[in-house]
């Protein structure tokens, strides 16, 4: 990937517009529940401030209606958290498009939720030009929003005098490329979740690349069905059995594989009070619900992970939120933690599992991207990255 990095640009005395992804989860009263994305955005801001830039930080929050401000759409709680982390004042600027605000070199302001501006979502070019006029340097550090072509992630990058990637964006792309484009082999992907349909493109894309494709959750159930195995009343998509067969066939043809569960944890209801059975896959009864992979299968998967060169992890294996259905995910997390492989993990549930089993320090890279991470795995070009590459091209020529 060829883009200009923030570290390549001199920001002293410049007006710097940093697009960050500060779209953090909040509770009903607006309190930030997880500030990971804010903390991850600090290095770019601090770097620009240290260089004596006049810094404008921009982000969306949620999906507000353009032109209709309501207090819950405000980045005010984020401004407070950012001020704590930076140890300086972070004034929040509303109605900032016209540039009627001041920010001096060495100071930072937060621009109110960019999705309130009419035209943002549609990547309106007039809006993008107005934004570009606010700055000398545009920095995109919002990997989490890189799959969206909007005025602050895409259009502005076309018109700003200089457009570069911030350190978070660069590390995300470096880690993903290391795992995906130039992986140390064997490459193992773990793709788990309730439905094959929502991850079909990822499964297909990974099926062409990886040595082992570990499936979990409802996705594994559909693959078991494709193997002609009983799954009782477990969640599955019979209509996608054909796709699952195709994936397994194409992988087997090149010596790769999809390990299919040989044992499972079942219950007859989805509940923490349910009686749990640890059984071989062939013993599954009509009224059984598969809620986790069994210990024999988990041990096989752990061996695969232990021998891997690279691991891409998206999705927990079972219903790990409920203790008795978390065994396989817990074992896998421990195996990942101890594996010498370079692991890239992403997706909300995966991050929750990493936190629950306390292995974050032992995972090579934890992505801040949800949808963006998934689209990268699908093999799609992220529009916000593509425009940075285009700009780097035009500088080079
Ligand atoms: C995310 O949380 O996935 C990003 O911030 C993008 O948000 P969006 O899905 O509302 O575009
Ligand atoms: Mg909202």
pLDDT in tens, 60-115: 999 999 999 999 999 999 999 999 999 999 999 999 999 999 999 999 999 999 99
d(CA 357, CA 273): 22
Mean pLDDT of 311-323: 95
- pLDDT tens sequence across 331-370: 999 999 999 999 999 988 999 999 999 999 999 999 999 9
Question: Is pLDDT of 269 > 70?
Answer: yes
| Mean pLDDT taken over the chain | 96
Cα–Cα separations (whole angstroms), residue 234 to 224, 269, 280: 11, 10, 15
| % of the chain beyond a pLDDT of 90 | 95
Q: What phi, psi does 359 have (nearest 5°)?
A: -115, 15
Mean pLDDT of 267-279: 92
What does the pLDDT read at residue 381? Answer: 95
3-state DSSP assignment of residue 77 = helix
3-state DSSP assignment of residue 384 = helix
Atom number in ligand 1 closest to CA 37 = 5
- pLDDT tens sequence across 108-138: 999 999 999 999 999 999 999 999 999 999 9
Paired strand residues for 257: 212
Whether pTM exceeds 0.85: yes
Mean pLDDT of 243-268: 97
What does the pLDDT read at residue 395? Answer: 76
Question: Is pLDDT of 252 > 70?
Answer: yes
What does the pLDDT read at residue 93? Answer: 98
Mean pLDDT of 283-289: 96
Is 193 annotated as catalytic? no
Mean pLDDT of 32-43: 96
Strand-strand pairing, 263-267 and 289-293: antiparallel
Question: Is pLDDT of 1 > 80?
Answer: no
What does the pLDDT read at residue 348? Answer: 83
What does the pLDDT read at residue 3? Answer: 97
User: For residue 394, what pLDDT band results from cuts at 50, 70 and 90?
Assistant: confident
Atom number in ligand 1 closest to CA 63 = 10
pLDDT: is 271 or 304 the higher one? Answer: 304
Is 369 annotated as catalytic? no
Question: Is pLDDT of 396 > 70?
Answer: no
Q: How far is the CA of 140 from the centre of ligand 2 (A)?
A: 23
Mean pLDDT of 129-157: 98
Atom number in ligand 1 closest to CA 21 = 5
What does the pLDDT read at residue 43? Answer: 98
Verify whether ligand 1 is closer than 6 Å to residue 113 (CB atom): no
Question: Is pLDDT of 148 > 90?
Answer: yes
Verify whether ligand 1 is closer than 6 Å to residue 249 (CB atom): no
Structure-block tokens of residue 227 = 């193997």
Question: Is pLDDT of 54 > 90?
Answer: yes
Those residues whose C-beta lies under 8 Å from the C-beta of residue 237, and which sit 6 or more positions away, are: 195, 196, 197, 218, 222
What does the pLDDT read at residue 19? Answer: 98
Q: What phi, psi does 277 have (nearest 5°)?
A: -120, 135
Q: How far does Cα 297 stand from its chain's mean position?
A: 27
Is 348 annotated as catalytic? yes
Structure-block tokens of residue 193 = 């979740």
Mean pLDDT of 149-174: 98
Verify whether ligand 1 is closer than 6 Å to residue 23 (CB atom): yes
Q: How far is the CA of 21 from the centre of ligand 1 (A)?
A: 8
Residue whose C-alpha is closest to residue 315's, from 218, 204, 184, 175? 218
């Amino acid at each position: 990937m060829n883009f200009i990095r923030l570290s390549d640009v001199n920001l002293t005395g410049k007006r710097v517009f940093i697009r960050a992804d500060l779209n953090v989860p909040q509770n009903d009263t607006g309190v930030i529940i997880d500030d990971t994305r804010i903390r991850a955005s600090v290095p770019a801001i601090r770097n620009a401030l240290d260089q004596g830039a006049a810094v404008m930080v921009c982000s969306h929050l949620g999906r507000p209606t353009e032109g209709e401000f309501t207090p819950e759409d405000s980045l005010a709680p984020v401004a407070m958290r950012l001020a704590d982390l930076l140890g300086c004042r972070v004034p929040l600027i509303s109605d900032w498009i016209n540039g009627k605000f001041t920010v001096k070199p060495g100071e930072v302001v937060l621009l109110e939720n960019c999705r309130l501006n009419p035209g943002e979502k549609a990547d309106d070019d007039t809006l993008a030009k107005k934004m570009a006029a606010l700055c000398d340097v545009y920095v995109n550090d919002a990997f989490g929003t890189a799959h969206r072509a909007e005025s602050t992630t895409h259009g502005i990058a076309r018109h700003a005098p200089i457009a570069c990637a911030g350190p978070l964006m660069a590390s995300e792309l470096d880690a993903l490329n290391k795992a995906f484009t130039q992986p140390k082999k064997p490459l193992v992907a773990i793709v788990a979740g309730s439905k094959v349909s929502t991850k079909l493109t990822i499964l297909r894309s990974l099926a062409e690349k990886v040595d082992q494709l570990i499936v979990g959750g409802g996705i594994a159930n559909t693959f078991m069905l494709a193997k002609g195995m009983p799954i009782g009343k477990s969640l599955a998509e019979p209509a996608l059995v054909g796709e699952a067969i195709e994936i397994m066939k194409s992988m087997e043809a090149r010596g790769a594989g999809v390990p299919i569960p040989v044992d499972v944890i079942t219950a007859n209801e989805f509940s923490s009070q349910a009686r749990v059975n640890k059984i071989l896959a062939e013993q599954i009864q009509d009224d059984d619900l598969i809620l986790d992979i069994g210990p024999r299968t988990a041990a096989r998967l752990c061996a695969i992970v232990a021998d891997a060169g690279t691991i891409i992890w998206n999705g927990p294996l079972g219903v790990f939120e409920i203790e008795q259905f978390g065994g396989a995910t817990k074992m896998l997390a421990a195996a990942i933690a101890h594996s010498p492989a370079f692991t890239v993990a992403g997706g909300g549930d995966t991050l929750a599992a990493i936190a629950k089993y306390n292995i974050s320090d032992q995972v090579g890279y934890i992505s801040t991207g949800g949808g963006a991470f998934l689209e990268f795995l699908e093999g799609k070009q992220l529009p916000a990255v593509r425009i940075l590459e285009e700009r780097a091209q035009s500088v080079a020529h």
